[in-house]
Structure 1
Amino acid sequence: MFMKRTTLWAIACLIGFSAVCLPARAGDPIPELVILKPFIGTWKTISDAPNEPNSFTDVAKWECILNGRVVRITHNVNDGAYAGESLIHWDGQQQKIIYRYVTTAGFYTDGVITPADDGGIDVHEYVRGATSGPTETLSHYEVKDDGRIHAWSKFLTGDAWTEPNTVIYEHAPEAQVNLP
């Protein structure tokens, strides 16, 4: 009888532990990261001027990992000519969503993500390890009613901010992120 009760107690504890430690569904972010849920998936953009020398194709995959405690973004531009990875997580000490973005170009960024009034996200990042180019970036991302991500970014170089450039990402589950 003692052994049977102990076994039942152990099973009950394991079930209770699992319910507390795991998110409600696989792939769901923790409550502090729920603002990122609309972005989960694979997205692709082609720049506004596909025949221009500055045109590009960007593929970005947003996914929940580590029981929803981290959102990882892997992306590549022009089939891996440039690529990067971000790990986004909740920082309990700072009470902020923070991330680090590491690139194949040798620089990285540290940033903060905040909810925007329109349901999107605002991103402020600081560039580290680059010998030239921007030192800060401000961006905004929003999933609009058309189901696409509408984004803009502007960059601080020296003491001047660039005009925002805009990009639209379409949901592309078949697209692949090619990391070199």
Structure 2
Amino acid sequence: MIKQQLLKITLLVLIFLMSTGVMAKDFAKELAIFNGYLGTWESNFAVAEGQAPVFDVSRWERVLNGKALRTLHSINEGEYGGESIIFYDTTKQALVFYYFTTANFHTTGTLEIIDENTFAAYEDVTGNENGITQVKSVSKLLGDKMMVSTSYLKNGEWTKEQSRTYTRSNKTVVFK
């Protein structure tokens, strides 16, 4: 009887650990920085008075047996969205990514690891109708918050840096 109860408790603990990701496989070592970023995040962007709110939901997940990171995000429940795949390119000896959008443009880029919680992204943009040809951003994980600062090369000039704070979320990324 006691053995059966211990077996049931052990089984429940294992199921709990597996469901919370504690026993999940790790990323490839080059992607280890992203372990803390996994999960869903949300941010309300700062907008000028009188402008419609801008709300972003982003999900970060380990894919391809830990050889890649996939991010999905949607703004205002599907008005705009995108998906990235980040992986370590052994030929370039660098973290690279591809980002595809619902607005008919895409980007390619590289990531630079700054420290154990911070990385910078450098993107080349193809097909953007607003004159944006490059993007640079810095993301920093601060516990249950993520700070993202972004600047755009638009019509040959860099825009003023925009900063956003993301918090953990239970919301869903939505595509229309």
Could you tell me which runs of 5 or more consecutive residues in structure 2 were left unpaired when the two chains were aligned: 1-21
Report how far residue 143 of structure 1 moved. 0.8
**Residue in structure 2 matching 1:76, options 74, 77, 81:** 74
Measured against aligned partners, the alpha-carbon deviations of 1:74-133 in whole angstroms (never above 9, x if no partner) come to: 100000000110011110000100010000000000010110147301000000122432
Measured against aligned partners, the alpha-carbon deviations of 1:148-176 in whole angstroms (never above 9, x if no partner) come to: 0011000001321111000000011x210
Q: Is the 8 A contact 1:107 1:128 kept in 2?
A: yes
Partner of 1:127: 125
Partner of 2:172: 176
Partner of 1:56: 54
> CA separation in 2, counterparts of 1:94 and 1:40?
25
> CA separation in 2, counterparts of 1:38 and 1:103?
25
Partner of 2:89: 91
Q: State which drifts further: 47-56 or 105-114.
A: 47-56
For the aligned residue pairs, the C-alpha RMSD in angstroms reads 1.9
> CA separation in 2, counterparts of 1:118 and 1:30?
15
* Mapping of residues 1-180 of structure 1, within 5 Å: 25-26=23-24, 28-49=26-47, 52-117=50-115, 119-145=117-143, 147-172=144-169, 174-180=170-176
TM, length-normalised to structure 1 = 0.80
**Counting strand residues as a fraction of each chain, which structure ranks higher?**
2
Fraction of identical pairs, as percent = 29
> CA separation in 1, counterparts of 2:39 and 2:50?
28
> CA separation in 2, counterparts of 1:79 and 1:27?
31
Tell me: CA distance 1:36–1:152, structure 2 relative to 1, closer, same or farther (3 Å): same
> CA separation in 1, counterparts of 2:122 and 2:153?
11
Q: State which drifts further: 101-110 or 34-43.
A: 34-43
Tell me how many residue pairs correspond in the alignment.
Answer: 155
TM, length-normalised to structure 2 = 0.82
> CA separation in 2, counterparts of 1:76 and 1:178?
6
Q: Is the 8 A contact 2:33 2:116 kept in 1?
A: no
Could you tell me which runs of 5 or more consecutive residues in structure 1 were left unpaired when the two chains were aligned: 1-23
Q: Is the 8 A contact 2:149 2:162 kept in 1?
A: yes
- Spell out structure 1 runs of 4+ moving beyond 4 A: none
